[in-house]
């Protein structure tokens, strides 16, 4: 890797003001559309499974695997794309994960049987996983210190739109009394459209200024900064085709093993993301089954509409408040507050008699958990690894963290149906979710620093200056 010049931090001063340029908003929208698609494709499977359970006579084991296999595959996608983007560059691979996603969505819609659908969802997951480290890092490296949390958070907040659009379209189709064999295929096939729509735009994004400078192309880095700051048009940028970090495929992983401070941070970002996703995806993908327990006489249309209401009333305001406060209150405070209130909500559901027998109290408390999930770790776990790691391992660290998150999500999505069907029931499942959230809180408190107010270059110096830092120093 070619070292950046000593005054590299000064080269990004034009990005570090309060003003956000039109170019940066463009990057945010192009990146965010991927997360709209990711959320739609991941969470619509809950409704699809509810329809297929009767049509294909699915067992509990088949339901659990269909709910979760995409998440396991996305862990692989995050690791692979995250590492490649640190070697070849962000720009050179950006957009191809959307093609993989779209292919998987179309194949899912055309599935003639369970096995074909399962394989198609694995392909879909590879594309979804690849989107996490690259989109987050591109937005982070194009953002300034004072707006970075808001801009990366806005990318992820597009997930909220996918959360709402999925059950909304499902409710409309169910209300139309269209044959269920057509409804589930439409729901799965629609997931390809947004990904294909942004593929061309993603291929037009130029290399980030931070990566270009780290690879020694100072001229390109300065031009990219000027474009991001609104001082030049994107047409004045050349396209980087050959610049890359000179490092082996395994070098990035070894970097974390040699630096105790970064290793502690990685345990924090990966562990917090895994615990969050266990509780979040377990509840969200299984929400049709959860709501069926609360309202056993309700139709699939009614319970899907109730799911839509919970997302719209509780989840979306959580995203909005997070975006507003990320660059004011800090990532760590928001993440810890979110984990705390998620644990409280889940433990109330699990331990207070009567909450799971009446719809209104359950919806209010369950909805509260969604508010603090979005105004909390579901947003911040995505932002953290795009900020605190050095540029040469930034997407690698994000990929490892996202992969851990998706493995946690796999575990939650796989085991939740079994927990619901066992003697644990809904109350037991929520107690488990609450306990897992407390683990996420502990990891966040003990291992993670506060990146707010620091430039990426300052955070890189902190990460590399004291490689043998203690746990206390690593979280300082």
Could you give the domains of the chain? 8-474 (1.20.1250.20)
Contact status, residue 467 vs residue 261, Cβ threshold 8 Å: yes
pTM of the model: 0.89
- pLDDT at residue 353 is higher than 90: no
- pLDDT at residue 224 is higher than 60: yes
Of 460, 256, 446, the closest CA to residue 332 belongs to 446
Q: From CA 301, how far away is CA 311, in angstroms rounded?
A: 15
- Residue-level pLDDT at 264: 96
Which range of 90-104, 267-281, 282-296, 458-472 scores highest in mean pLDDT? It is: 267-281
Which burial class, exposed, middle or buried, applies to 64 when counting CB atoms under 10 A from its CB (0-12, 13-18, 19+)?
Answer: buried
Mean pLDDT, all residues of the chain: 89
Q: From CA 226, how far away is CA 166, in angstroms rounded?
A: 39
**Alpha carbon 287 to its chain's center:** 19
- Residue-level pLDDT at 246: 64
**Alpha carbon 26 to its chain's center:** 19
Of 82, 85, 77, the closest CA to residue 124 belongs to 77
- Residue-level pLDDT at 17: 67
Contact status, residue 400 vs residue 79, Cβ threshold 8 Å: yes
- Residue-level pLDDT at 238: 52
Contact status, residue 246 vs residue 396, Cβ threshold 8 Å: no
- Residue-level pLDDT at 243: 52
pLDDT in tens, 180-207: 999 999 999 999 998 888 888 888 888 8
Report in angstroms the alpha-carbon separations of 29 from 14, 32, 37, 162, 198.
21, 5, 12, 14, 9
Task: Quickly tell me which residue has 């369970």 as its tokens.
Answer: 114
For residue 161, what are its two tokens? 């739109």
pLDDT in tens, 12-49: 777 776 688 888 899 999 999 988 998 898 888 888 99
Contact status, residue 385 vs residue 86, Cβ threshold 8 Å: no
Q: From CA 197, how far away is CA 199, in angstroms rounded?
A: 6
Q: From CA 141, how far away is CA 158, in angstroms rounded?
A: 19
Residue 233 binned pLDDT confidence (cut-offs 50, 70, 90): low
Residue 241 binned pLDDT confidence (cut-offs 50, 70, 90): very low
3-state SS string over 39-51? HHHHHCHHHHHHH
Task: Quickly tell me which residue has 């109730």 as its tokens.
Answer: 306
Q: Is the dihedral of CA 154, 159, 163, 168 positive or negative?
A: positive
Report in angstroms the alpha-carbon separations of 18 from 127, 226, 322.
34, 15, 18
CB under 8 A, 24+ apart: contacts of 58-62: 58/114, 60/417, 60/418, 60/421, 62/114
Half-sphere exposure of 188 (CA within 13 A, CB side): 28
Q: Enumerate residues 6+ apart whose C-beta is below 8 A from 460.
A: 389, 390, 391
Q: From CA 281, how far away is CA 291, in angstroms rounded?
A: 15
- Percentage of residues in the chain having pLDDT higher than 70: 93
What interhelical angle do 114-142 and 148-175 show, nearest 10? Answer: 150
**Helices of type H across 204-358:** 209-214, 218-228, 251-258, 260-285, 287-294, 300-310, 316-329, 331-351
């Amino acid at each position: 890797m070619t070292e950046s010049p000593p005054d590299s931090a000064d080269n990004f001063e034009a990005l570090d003001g309060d003003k956000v340029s039109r170019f940066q908003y463009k990057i945010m929208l192009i990146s965010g559309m991927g997360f709209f698609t990711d959320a739609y494709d991941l969470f619509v499977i809950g409704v699809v499974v509810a329809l297929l359970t009767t049509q294909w006579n699915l067992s509990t084991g088949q339901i659990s695997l269909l709910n979760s296999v995409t998440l396991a595959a996305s862990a692989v996608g995050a690791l692979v794309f995250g590492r490649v983007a640190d070697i070849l560059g962000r720009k050179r691979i950006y957009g191809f994960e959307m093609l993989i996603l779209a292919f998987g969505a179309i194949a899912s819609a055309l599935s003639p049987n369970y096995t074909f659908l399962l394989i198609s969802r694995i392909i879909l997951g590879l594309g979804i996983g690849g989107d996490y480290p690259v989109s987050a890092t591109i937005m982070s490296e194009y953002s300034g210190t004072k707006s970075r949390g808001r801009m990366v958070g806005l990318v992820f907040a597009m997930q909220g739109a996918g959360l709402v659009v999925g059950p909304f379209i499902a409710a409309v189709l169910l209300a139309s009394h269209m044959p269920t064999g057509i409804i589930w295929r439409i729901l799965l096939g629609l997931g390809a459209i947004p990904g294909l729509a942004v593929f061309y735009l993603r291929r037009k994004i130029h290399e980030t200024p931070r990566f270009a400078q780290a690879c020694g192309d100072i001229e390109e880095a300065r031009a990219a900064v000027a474009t991001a700051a609104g001082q030049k048009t994107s047409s004045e940028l050349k396209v980087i085709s050959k610049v890359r970090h000179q490092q082996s495929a395994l070098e990035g992983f070894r970097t974390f093993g040699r630096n105790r401070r970064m290793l502690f941070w990685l345990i924090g970002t990966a562990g917090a993301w895994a615990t969050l996703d266990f509780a979040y995806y377990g509840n969200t993908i299984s929400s049709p089954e959860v709501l069926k327990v609360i309202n056993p006489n309700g139709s699939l249309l009614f319970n899907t509409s109730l799911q839509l209401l919970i997302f719209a009333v509780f989840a979306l305001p959580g995203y909005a408040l997070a975006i507003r406060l990320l660059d004011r209150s800090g990532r760590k405070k928001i993440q810890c507050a979110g984990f705390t209130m998620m644990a409280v909500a889940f433990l109330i559901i699990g331990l207070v008699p009567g909450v799971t027998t009446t719809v209104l109290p359950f919806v209010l408390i369950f909805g509260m958990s969604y508010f603090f999930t979005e105004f909390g770790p579901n947003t911040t776990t995505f932002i953290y690894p795009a900020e605190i790691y050095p540029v040469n391992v930034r997407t690698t660290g994000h990929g490892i963290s996202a992969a851990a998150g998706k493995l946690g999500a796999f575990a939650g999505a796989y085991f939740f149906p079994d927990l619901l069907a066992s003697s644990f029931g809904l109350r037991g499942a929520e107690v488990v979710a609450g306990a897992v959230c407390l683990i996420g809180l502990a990891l966040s408190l003990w291992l993670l620093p506060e990146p707010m107010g620091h430039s990426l270059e300052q955070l890189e110096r902190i990460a590399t200056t004291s490689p043998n830092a203690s746990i206390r120093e690593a979280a300082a």
